[in-house]
Amino acid sequence: MPGSSDTLFIEMAVAKGYLDRAHGEEALNIQTATAGDGASRRPLRDVLVESGWMTKEQVSEISGQMEEGAAKTGRIEGYKLLSKIARGGMGAVYKAEREATGETVALKILPRRMAQKPGFVERFLRESRAASKIRSAYIVRTIDVGFSGGYYYFAMEYVQGESVDTTLSIDSSIAESKALRIVHHIALALRHAGAAGMVHRDIKPGNILVGKDGVARLADFGLARDIQDDSVAQTGVTLGTPNYMSPEQARGVKPLDVRSDIYSLGVTFYYMVTGALPFQAETSLLTMLKHLNEQPVAPITRRSDLSRGCNAVILKMLAKDRDKRYQDASQLSTDIELVMEGKQPKFAETTEPKPEKAAEEAPVNRAEPAHSAEGTHKRGHGRWLSVGIALLLIALVGTMVYVLFFQVTK
């Protein structure tokens, strides 16, 4: 297993354009292979130079930057922090100026307490590595990664706009046309991520940024994994956000694929157009159980002006069985494009919801509670109980009549 310093060295060299990522990963494999049978691990820098993948000067430059970063404290060299944008589980994100270019970036910094734990450092660097593997206008771009002032950091493209989560905190829902455009952009992001062999695993409104240019971009690849890599996503290990988690993700199934991301995007889509989550409970465990066992209320019953095509796309995205969902992001983007053009989707079945079904499932603003399956079940029990009592009374009356008749004739 490579050390955090070796992983950081690779990331910094790739970010500067000194090293191809494939060669960096191969160098780590060579280093690991030479450490067998009790032998000491070969220095990564030696492997890179001897293989001709980096020059001694390039290795010296990166090594020097890492040493300076460890020696200096309290400042990220080369960046001027302007304001804090957000704080998450893996550190704070700042709006910053890259001094060498004057470019405004989003700078994510890992807290020092987490930097002492290799697992956190690896996950932090994995996010920058995952995002940098993908070339897409719909994914937040990684610009730089490094270690300075005692902090691990990476710089990302700064998106001038707001997250879908922020929009929903202000507005109760989003217009269908805008929601379709956002989901279409993220579907394209998933298509590009899939081409790079990546699955995101944490799609939710807070990880979708919509710029002032109207383009939606997918962010936060902290949980992203290579589709073929099961080293973290082991059976029984559940990673993600419960409200947006696919059934197979809740079960700890491995490996996950793009169909899991499509489900999470479907939950986000549902929330955008209805202003409500399809499944929600008091605890994370109960929420996951709902994702596993319950069918969602059709979004068109919550929002009557929703098009049948949009309703059908969302329900197909939310299919419990992943084999019944869109099988890839291309199918999803095709259907969304058709719905945006006012046409019927190709892969999702559109059906006219039955009025009585919609009435049962839609929110009801009446003193009388809406009829439910549970209520029907209880009424059925009530009817049979009444019948049983009536038969018992008839039997008792019959018995009394018989006894009286017998006494009289006697």
Active site amino acids: 202
Residue 279, Cβ neighbours under 10 Å: how many?
24
The residue assigned the tokens 């009536």 is: 390
Alpha-carbon distance of 155 to 109, in angstroms, equals 9
Alpha-carbon distance of 315 to 312, in angstroms, equals 5
Alpha-carbon distance of 158 to 357, in angstroms, equals 46
DSSP state of 243: G
CA quadruple 222, 226, 230, 235: dihedral sign: positive
